[in-house]
Amino acid sequence: MPLSINKLGKLLAPKNMVIKTVYSIGDLCVYIDITHVSNGESLFLYIPSKYEIPADHPNVHKLHYLEVNEDGSIPSDYAEQPDDGEIEDKYGEINVNNNDIKHQKDIEGYLTNNYDCPVSLGDSTVEDITEIKEIFRQLKRLKFCVKNINYKLCIVYKYYFCCIKRDGSYECYSVENLNMSNKRRIIVTTDLESMYEQINTIDKDVGSIRRGIYRVLDRNQNKHVSNLQKLMDYKANFNILSVGVIEQKKKYKEYLTKLEKMLTKISLAEKNIIAEINSINQKYKGNLSIKTLHNDIEKTNLIHKKEEELSNTTQIKQEIISYINILKLNLESLSLKIDQICFDNIVMLDTIIKNFESLRKI
């Protein structure tokens, strides 16, 4: 028998669940918003494409698939992504199989103990694109909470649905004529086949998963705040480090000043020796009338001594220049590095402060 919204509604009614809203593409259901009338819990039911259920319901909204990569990144997304292994250490998977869920009255314990035709985004505002990027980064962390169960998560923001699919990949939709809050909302999702398997426990499962996610986020908030506090406490150490860098740069500059003075003196001595050599040559060149073997030997000895003196002086000069270049390299490298670190940290801290300030607007 063909599936229909009416038949699905009759199946849900004995479980105190009603169909609130249908989200469709091409007049076929893609997501169905189901509400439990006893506790108000909401569930997004995903309808796989092989089940063609006409969107025959008084409250229907059209979906538009947005271009998002399967790994949850947005094309041209240049934001640095954390390593999945590093994330998984903090967002450990929930190791619950389907049989456990069927016979488990409350899966909250699992969650608590195991924290474990496309539309271009160019049509969206820069603020929306930034928000969607952040949401997908958040979903990448939260996906480990529901890794091994047949429930996934969707974050709703304004008229965007950002969802984890059954296979662990991601998808994003924009919704026509949907006037939602610009505050993020978490909705538990499951697919049609899984719903039939878990129909007797689905109302309790959804509530337990939601409460487990709350506890996960609360616990991580405490950890994150603690880590941020440690970073903020580092400011005292940074002052000490900065003073140390200033002192090191001061020493480099003092050494450079001394070496440059030595270089000036040794250069002057070098010039004097060259002048003396020239003077000796001129002296013996002008006395051609008294040129004798004795004079040639005397001249040669004098020139030889001055050339040795000049060679030693030139060697010392080259060593001084070498030390100056090493000191300049160290000074410039240290100066550029501390400039980069300070600038980058100011930018990052400014972003952190702005992020905290945004909490006031929530």
C-beta of residue 179 within 8 angstroms of C-beta of residue 151: no
Q: Between helices 293-358 and 202-285, what is the axis angle to 10°?
A: 160
Sign, CA torsion 61/71/48/117? positive
Report pLDDT digits (tens) over 106-143. Answer: 544 544 444 344 555 656 678 888 888 889 999 999 99
pLDDT at residue 178 is higher than 50: yes
Nearest to 182 by CA among 225, 125, 222: 125
d(C-alpha 135, C-alpha 219), whole Å: 19
Rg (CA), the chain: 38
| Sequence-separated (6 or more) residues with CB below 8 Å from residue 44 | 31, 32, 33, 34, 154, 161, 163, 187, 188, 189, 190
Are 93 and 143 spatial neighbours (Cβ–Cβ below 8 Å)?
Answer: no
Question: Can you tell me the distance from the alpha carbon of 64 to that of 117, in angstroms, rounded to the nearest whole number?
Answer: 7
CB 19 within 8 A of CB 9: yes
- What is the pTM assigned to this prediction? 0.62
Query: What's the confidence (pLDDT) of residue 129?
Result: 85
Enumerate the H helices of the chain as residue ranges. Answer: 5-12, 84-90, 98-103, 108-113, 126-142, 192-197, 202-285, 293-358
pLDDT in tens, 289-305: 555 666 777 777 888 88
Residue 199 has pLDDT above 50, yes or no: yes
Q: What is the rounded distance in angstroms from the CA atom of residue 112 to the CA atom of residue 197?
A: 24
Question: In sequence order, what are the residues at sequence separation of 6 or more whose Cβ sits closer than 8 angstroms to the Cβ of residue 137?
Answer: 72, 79, 81, 82
Please give the pLDDT value at position 24: 94
Distance CA 263, CA 321 (A): 7
Tokens representing 42 are: 């909401």
Q: For residue 212, how far is the Cα from the chain centroid?
A: 26
Interatomic CA distance for residues 173 and 171, integer angstroms: 7
Amino acid at 124: S
Instruction: Give residue-wise pLDDT tens across range 11-53.
Output: 999 989 999 999 999 899 999 999 988 888 899 999 998 888 9
Residue-wise pLDDT for 284-342, tens only, equals 775 555 556 667 777 778 888 888 888 898 899 999 999 999 999 999 888 888 888 88
Query: Which letter does DSSP use for residue 93 in this model?
Result: -
